[in-house]
A and B are shown apart, each in its own frame.
Chain A
Amino acid sequence: MSVFETIIYEIQDNVGYITLNRPKALNVYNIQMRDELFQVLGAVKDDSEVKVGVLRGAGERAFCAGADLTEFLTAPSPTIARQVRWQRDVWGLFLSINKPMLAALHGYVFGSGIEMALCCDIRVVSDDVQLGVPETGLGIIPAAGGTQTLPRIIGRGYALELLLSGRWVKAEEALRMKLVNRVVSREDLWSEVDQLARKIKVHDANVLSYTKQAVTRGLDLRLEQGLELESRLGASLLEEMMQEEAT
């Protein structure tokens, strides 16, 4: 397994653990992390040994406090930056992983940090968590999918409030908004997420993949098309099952 500078990637019992590992810098997202995340997410996507992915942050204070702004003012021209964005589409890759992805969130979860968590399917947080999207206060908007993923998860009303105001929310309010699935204590966070990963990974990999596809792609379709997608995916599972029984 290759060694990364900003990320630890380990596979244990069919669970791929991605740990953001710049604890001294509150795990802020920089170009190096982008490149390493791109490799790791590709591995999670392609490696059949990995059935479930877990994203978490090292250190006491933060899952990820956002993007490394020191790199922002040296950014290339808008046209070059845009070109690079799509040449190495880390968020598109993240969202294309048809495996359950769990986020274990603690401490500061801001900007790119919350956006990474929103690329996951299930979010478990510790009771010390603080989440926010501060971009409009920096003269920018989210760029890791936040304006798209957030309203799809918590609805237009809450999403616009958080995105426009940059307000921080704590665990209980995040739970009420359905921004997170579960709140646990700090010391139980990783073990709770492990337990959830174990509960999910016993299921057939195709079943998990098709379930995720049916829900996420289905939400982008008209209901009629979504129902067609669901029955097509279901039928191919039945077919696989019958083939297995026949052999």
Chain B
Amino acid sequence: MSYSAIICDKRQDFVIITLNRPEAGNAINQQLAQEIGEVCQQINQDDEVRVVVVTGTGDTFCRGSELAVPCGVVAAVAGLEQPVIAAINGDAIGQGLELALSCDIRIAVNEARMGFPQVTTGLIPMDGGTQRLSRIVGRGKALELLFTGEIISAGEALDIGLVNKVVDRETLISEAEALAEHLAGKAPIALRYVKEAVSKGLDLTLEQGLRLEADLYFLLHTTTDRTEGIRAFQEKRSPDFKGQ
């Protein structure tokens, strides 16, 4: 499938989705939204894809959206069952930051800036920003960023836990690829279940969350990957997981 607003690069075990509208700061438009929706749907049906990386062309990750209302881009990425790494190659502003927040692990370049300027134009984030930001950095910092509309540096984002790691521009993609390969070496179903247990569990009471975790844990008893993982550990070798 060929795309115009994104590049989809399928590797052995992972996929890199690159927002590809550098002339527009990789802003979300109808075309990009449609393509992201399609690619995410395909990825969810493809058992070979163990990890997804989302990044942007040029020196902006995504400067926001050209559309007045949410168009499903963030929801599509948030709906991916695999671990998703945001390789934030530059500014992630407004809906661009909402997109990064819908990923699971965020690595940013030094020069990247992040923020929700919506308040200055009389709006609020509409694609999950008010919900996901507070779940990642806590209520205090979230409200500060949302109220002030302040754009913060990658370093500040690291300090408050908004990003997991900050790296040099030259190493961003190799860092993201190395992490993707590292994750691809883990048991694929276990990765999906961890993501589900954390994401769904935060919406439950602790007691209900523990039930969810245990049920997913016992479901994994039926996988051959579990036996392989434990055997490999005992035999002091690397496991060879099949996703079964």
Contacts and interface: CB of A to CB of B under 8 A. Distances in A.
Interface of A: 69-70, 72-73, 75, 77-79, 81-82, 85-86, 91-92, 95, 135-143, 145-152, 154-161, 163-166, 177, 216, 219-220
B190 A139 contact: yes
B206 A216 contact: yes
A147 B201 contact: yes
A85 B207 CA distance: 14
Contacts of A72: 230
B212 to A, nearest CB: 8
B186 A166 contact: yes
B67 interface: no
Contacts of B217: 140-143
Contacts, number: 158
Contacts of A157: 105-106, 136-137, 161-164
Contact of A152 (B161, B187, B202, B226): B202
B183 to A, nearest CB: 6
Nearest to A160: B104
A161 B104 contact: yes
A70 to B, nearest CB: 7
Interface string B109-145: 0000000000000000000000010011110000000
Contacts of B213: 141-143, 145-148
Interface residues of B, number: 57
A227 B7 CA distance: 49
Nearest to B107: A161
A134 to B, nearest CB: 9
- Summarize A's interface: helix, strand, loop or mixed: helix
Given A151-B201, A152-B206, A216-B206, A141 B104 contact: no
Given A78-B222, A158-B161, A164-B191, A141 B197 contact: yes
Contact of B227 (A82, A139, A146, A220): A139
Given A75-B221, A148-B206, A177-B161, A138 B187 contact: yes
Interface string B50-66: 00000000000000000
A147 B104 CA distance: 14
Interface stretch (B11-19, B31-39, B233-241): B233-241
B214 A164 contact: no
A26 to B, nearest CB: 14
B151 interface: no
Given A95-B206, A156-B135, A165-B179, A78 B164 contact: no
